[in-house]
Amino acid sequence: MSDDPLLAGPTPGAGPAGLEDAAVGERRLPCGTESVDLLAQVCDGDSGRRTAHQQQCPYCRALLVDYAELWSPFADLAAEPVRAPLSIVDRALAYVREVAGDSRRPVLPLHDSTPTAGEVAGSADLTARVIMRCVRLVAQEVDGVRLALSHVEVAAPTRNVTVDVTVAVDYGQDLYALAARVRARVADTVRSLIGPGAVTVSVHIDDVFPARPDAATA
């Protein structure tokens, strides 16, 4: 007897009787095989791996083909790539930043708004968040770095940028060399974003992770 509370009677707050309650459908084929076993085989993606009996038995073969056809929409559903709409997630994260008091970031002007000959008047700027994201991404590209977080301080009048990079790295690295590579890559990236200026990069190696299983064989 099943110990599923759903089968013991109505559950408070549960929905209406489900489709599955009407679906008995279990039967024994003339060859003695239970149909439910063949269905499980198909649902597990093993319809092509037939036993010696199934290769010979017309009842099993027919039902496997039938189930495979009926099940294909669910196999497609499982394989269908589903991406979360970025705007939805961004809205939620904007709310979180606001709640956390992290919604405003200093802005760094990219150039003077006074146009020279041939230029269109206007201005361009970027927030420290842009620098933070770029720093994180470029730091994670450094071989041996698994994860990176960053904190950026921008002194707008002097265009001096102070970057703190916190990283978790793979075990077995020369940590000083690794940190030097991170500093160099980050400094290059920041300069490419804001132009010449003093860039201070501090690297904090916060954790060491076991090497990934695939790293040894790569």
Residue corresponding to tokens 């690295």: 173
Taking alpha carbons only, the member of 142, 144, 135 closest to residue 202 is 135
| Smallest separation, CB 60 to other proteins (Å) | 16
| Smallest separation, CB 122 to other proteins (Å) | 28
CA dihedral sign of residues 80, 81, 84, 87: negative
Binding to other proteins by residue 218, rule CB under 8 A?
no
Within positions 99 to 158, which residues make up the interface with other proteins, using CB under 8 A?
99-100, 102, 132, 136, 146-147, 149-151
Within positions 38 to 77, which residues make up the interface with other proteins, using CB under 8 A?
39-40, 43, 67, 70-74, 76-77
Q: Which stretch binds other proteins (CB under 8 A): 7-15, 46-54, 107-115, 119-127?
A: 7-15
With contacts defined by CB under 8 A, how many residues of the chain interact with other proteins? Answer: 86
Out of 9, 48, 83, 143, the only residue in the binding site for other proteins (CB under 8 A) is: 83
Question: What are the residues facing 155 on neighbouring strands?
Answer: 160
Q: Which is nearer to other proteins, 16 or 30 (CB)?
A: 16
> Exposed, middle or buried by CB within 10 Å (0-12, 13-18, 19+), for 160?
middle
* Inter-axis angle of helices 58-79 and 35-43, nearest 10: 40
Q: Which stretch binds other proteins (CB under 8 A): 49-57, 108-116, 119-127, 174-182?
A: 174-182
| Smallest separation, CB 120 to other proteins (Å) | 29
Q: Please state, in angstroms and as integers, the Cα–Cα distance from residue 166 to each residue in 53, 69, 188, following that order.
A: 60, 52, 17
Specify whether the CB–CB gap between 67 and 48 falls below 8 A: no
| Smallest separation, CB 53 to other proteins (Å) | 22
Q: Which is nearer to other proteins, 17 or 62 (CB)?
A: 17
Q: Which is nearer to other proteins, 82 or 121 (CB)?
A: 82
CA dihedral sign of residues 191, 192, 194, 196: positive
Out of 9, 20, 116, 118, the only residue in the binding site for other proteins (CB under 8 A) is: 20
Q: Which stretch binds other proteins (CB under 8 A): 50-58, 106-114, 116-124, 194-202?
A: 194-202
| Smallest separation, CB 43 to other proteins (Å) | 5
Specify whether the CB–CB gap between 167 and 182 falls below 8 A: yes
Q: Please state, in angstroms and as integers, the Cα–Cα distance from residue 200 to each residue in 37, 86, 134, 192, following that order.
A: 65, 33, 15, 14
